[in-house]
Structure 1
Amino acid sequence: MKTLVWVEHDGKAVKDATLAVVTAASKLGEVHLLVAGSGVDAVAKEAAQIAGVGKVHVADNAAFDHNLPENVAPLVAELMGSHDAFLAPATTTGKNIAPRVAALLDVMQISEILSVEGPKTFTRPIYAGNAIATVESSDAKLVLTVRGTAFDKAATSGGSGTVEAVGGGSDAGISSFVGAEIAKQDRPELTSAKIIVSGGRALGSSEKYEEVIVPLADKLGAALGASRAAVDAGYVPNDYQVGQTGKIVAPQVYFAIGISGAIQHLAGMKDSKTIVAINKDEDAPIFQVADFGLVADLFSAVPELTGKI
């Protein structure tokens, strides 16, 4: 089976989310990558070094700048004539491209796979991760999105893939890139951080988030996260949200501070290697998944913890 993996990149380097997809694709068969964009030679060379990659298709065209899905999906559908499966990371952009590819191929997409059980059999979460479904496809072509936290990341070196330019592709003329407001910070990216400190609605305000959560994250060199309730209350930007409708994370250590542990939030962080919860409600659901739990007032416990690190 030949697989085609869409490479998520920023125009300069391959993003970590792609590495987990390569691992998933390798369980199905030969791995080919697609690097689409404008002036992406450096990205293509980096992609060719990923362990297990056989070939890198490079579509260098201004139409693929910013990875507009309306332009990328027809290119993928065309390349699927010589591939059996298309895989993309279950990121915002990946989840924007894959459904369009599935529609063009007239097949069913299987979303956020957690494991590969057979050539056309996969597991995926349902009911916010409270149940795992085993799904078998009967379609001739597969279209899959991959939950990055479920697979190990492929090594970024050791590969010897060949780079091949592909033609085709044009501006569909139905969408255009207007602009992007990207939050810049010195902290690790939330989805790839080894330590995450998240705060919940119990903090009460953005000022308290800054006062209690940020110093602890600074001491640990951690990324900042938050529950949906904290984001909805305006304590922090949407980029911080961890959960089913936010970002799915699986760091080495996850601090859940003032977070009750609603299903929506647990779906985004329960695969963390070690979970530390601090909450004054001893019956909070977060303690059911926590490896270490402290029933205490966060406004006194967290500063004390920060001071002892």
Structure 2
Amino acid sequence: MATDYTEAASSDGPDAAAPSDGPDALPKNKNISNHPLRAWLDVREDFLYEDLRREGRMGYESHLCPLCAGPSAIYRCRECEGGELLCQSCMVSSHKRNGLHMIEYWTGQSFEFSSLKSLGLFFQLGHPFGCKCDYPKSPTDNDFIVIHTNGIHEVSVKFCGCFGCHEPHIQLLQYGWFPATTHKPQTAASLAVLKQFQIHSFESKCSAMEFYQALSRLTDNIGIRPIRDRYRAFLVMIREYRHIKSLKRAGRGSDQWGIEGTKLGECAVLCPACPQPGRNLPVDWKTRPPNEQ
């Protein structure tokens, strides 16, 4: 770091001040914002303290819920900003639109993992938000897994069973979850995590296994809590998602014949550098002399 500071000072011209004593000292009369790491070293104790503080109650010594003033404010969301401790009912009501957040509860000495499913939150599909379904249907054994950008979640899902309702896989797609199967689905991936993996696989060349293992680590980085294995289902959903995106970009969704009318090569992406008659070749290219062809 000393070399960087010396070079930074010398590059300002002959009027630049000489470095202070010490290998890591900032040049005199220099703006400290130009050297954020050097400034951070003086306050890194604060960062360490606050990181440790987040493992506790973060100053919320009262067990009263700040929203309803009720007792047993022992639940905290790992995803929401602020880190407030809420009671069970307030935690559920405040996460009706954020049902894939990670929840912890205070045991008296430390925070342990909980879930919104165990607190009573469920996803009612097939109806607008807030509407009640008269004939809800749950998956077999109330078992449903959702793969999201922050981990692998066990959630409680209720499909709509009203007259004229859509099939379960359509209800999932309308909610923003990509089902792993169309027959009695019990696993889905959010559209956000599928898009995120597609970008990661293109930019960082991340494999599906590495990406899925990272999601497992985000769910439980210690390895003491069993995590449901849905890797093979994730591979299926990735393949289907990319196929649908390919058809969409080829305009098959707007074609009157649909997917079944797709001809061979219509989803291919034309190479702009390859010779294409009518695009980047002159009309009379066939009649030109051989040396010009």
Query: What's the TM-score bracket when you normalise by the shorter of the two chains?
Result: under 0.3
If the length of structure 2 is used for normalisation, what is the TM-score? 0.23
Give the number of the structure whose residues are more often strand, by fraction.
1
Bigger RCO (CA 8 Å, 6+ sep): 1
Select the structure of larger CA radius of gyration: 2
